[in-house]
Amino acid sequence: MPHQYYSQRKGTNPNLKGLPLKEILGLFVRVFGQFRSDGYFDEAFGFTCVDAGEVQGKIRDPELEMLLTIRKKGLWPVQEKALVYQEDDFFDVLEFLFQYVSKPIDGTMHSHNGCGMHWETYNQILGRKEFREKINGVLAHYRHRFELSPGGEVLHKPEAGFEPIFDADLPTSDKNVLSRVTAATLQYRRHGSTTEDRRQAVRDLADVLEYLRPKVKALLTNADEKDLFNIANNFGVRHHNDKQRTAYDTSIWLSWMFYFYLSTIHVVLRKIDHDAAK
């Protein structure tokens, strides 16, 4: 946990619940400006030389590239437009920039008139890693819980206490299990996910357990095994009929079902892996 200062510990800090979007955008502009001046976007977007003028990068027209990929106008140049971004705009731009950031590694110093470094070699992996760390530092101050994933997607942060489950590897080489769990997790956590998106994510995790059901039967009593699938089968997740129980707070219970099934899949696979190693 980050250090808490006096007003935070006392509970008198006016921003205990986080900062509003406008202030987050202000922080982002300053962080992006540092990356820009340090050459992290020179490879993609080019730079200015006192002798050569504008030196083009791989992306000759960033505004056009944004229009072709994000399908929005008025997002570029970032430092001029960012302060009026809506949340969707902000997250679109974060994902766009993640695709093109690269850490400058080596180049030539152009000392004339204080021009600076002309970078020639870059490392995209390191650039993305450092960009993600800085951006997540900014997002940590936002009053809504989001983070930039290692793959460059803005996702809802896990509920407090569940963070480790998203970092833990599933102990299986079964691509059917791995791909379905990964897809369900992304669908559930993706920014802008709807109630139906989350319901589908829970449904997909239940289907993974169904796929593992023959092995689950060997680990649980008959009653426990039935209870495990009763949740998905009778509470408006997998089936649609008049016997379904739907009189519950959907957002709260879908969250519980998601973490319950994801945790169960991890436990079942670890037990299977443990027994196989004996």
pLDDT tens for each residue of 232-275: 666 555 544 444 445 455 677 788 888 888 988 898 888 887 77
d(CA 180, CA 200): 11
Tell me, yes or no, if the pTM score tops 0.85: no
Of 194, 193, 198, 190, which Cα lies nearest the Cα of 261?
198
pLDDT > 70? residue 68: yes
pLDDT band at 193 (very low <50, low <70, confident <90, very high): confident
Of 181, 186, 188, 139, which Cα lies nearest the Cα of 269?
181
What pLDDT is stored for residue 22 in this prediction?
97
Quickly tell me which residue has 């982002």 as its tokens.
28
More confident residue, 169 or 219: 169
What pLDDT is stored for residue 149 in this prediction?
94
Give the orientation angle of helix 87-100 with respect to helix 21-37, to 10 degrees: 20
What pLDDT is stored for residue 206 in this prediction?
86
> Tens of pLDDT along 13-64?
999 889 999 999 999 999 999 999 999 999 999 999 988 888 999 999 999 9
Angle at Cα 213 formed by Cα 211 and Cα 216, nearest 5°?
Answer: 135
